[in-house]
Amino acid sequence: MKFSLCIGAYPGKDAVYHLEKVKEHGFQGLEYYAWWELGDLKKLAAEQERIGVGLSATCTKFISLVDESLRDDYLEGVRQTIEACRILGVRSIISQTGNVLDGVPRDQQRQAMVETLKRCAPLLEEAGMVLEVEPLNGLVDHAGHFLQRSDESVDVIDQVGSPNVKLVFDVYHQQITEGNVIRNATGYIDRINHYHIADNPGRKQPGTGEMNYVNILRAIKNTGFSGFVGLECGFTVDTDEAIQQFKEDILSQVL
């Protein structure tokens, strides 16, 4: 099991600063969502090599999986993202689904998503990358987002039927949406490519809310999971202090 920070952990600081902090804290990757804002990708690739750690995940450039009329735009965004990931050595591409379309049957929107993802699959298989669909909670943070529940998300992945199209399981979002976190986070392990973590309520660092992250992370580790767990959270204290506390209070009991 590897750990990553997410861009924004150090407000106002650039990707290189974050990568230096990833290295300093003994983590293994940085999630940087909007790769198109990075500027010279080859220059960043050289910085990654110098520092010894790199980007572990980024996002698709265009988000719309439920609107069939925007499929070509989505696919083009995936192609551009794959090319960026080749330069940066990234293997995980995160995608949200877009919001529910008014007046369109839900089954029709779900099928549009499945078909678009099926068309993405050969591009990802050729590139050796994984597209990760992300369910988000609609109660607090993302009202109207199409995919919210684990079971429906897994059904979509199963219909696509490609090892290069999986899920990113955000523990914070799924706690809000459905609870039952350990059962879903481990029961769907073969459809999950990586995890996001934050506590609830507040979406701050683990240890500040109601969630028992020692038990959650230990359960994930016990499945044999060897991928990334990303700290996608805000911090209630200085970032370095919060990360050190996370390592001492939680990771020391898990790893």
* CA pair distance 75, 62, nearest whole angstrom: 8
User: What is the rounded distance in angstroms from the CA atom of residue 124 to the CA atom of residue 129?
Assistant: 5
Catalytic-residue membership of 31? no
Residue 175 has pLDDT above 90, yes or no: yes
pTM over 0.85: yes
Q: What is the pLDDT of residues 176-206, one digit of tens each?
A: 999 999 999 999 999 999 999 999 999 999 9
Q: Is 134 a catalytic residue?
A: yes
Residue 84: what pLDDT? 98
Residue spans of alpha helices (H) in the chain = 15-24, 41-51, 71-88, 106-127, 150-160, 171-177, 181-187, 213-222, 239-249
Q: Is pLDDT of 231 > 90? A: yes
Residue-wise pLDDT for 52-90, tens only, equals 999 999 999 998 999 999 999 999 999 999 999 999 999
Q: Which of 254, 180, 179, 185 is nearest to 213 (CA)?
A: 254
**Catalytic choice (20, 126, 134, 241):** 134
Q: Which helix (H) or strand (E) holds 92?
A: strand 92-95
Across the range 29-49, mean pLDDT stands at 98
pLDDT tens string 99-145: 999 999 999 999 999 999 999 999 999 999 999 999 999 999 999 99
Output the pLDDT for position 63: 87
Residue range of the domain that includes 101: 2-253
From 132, 232, 241, 248, the catalytic residue: 232
Query: How many domains does the chain contain in total?
Result: 1
CATH of the domain at 24: 3.20.20.150
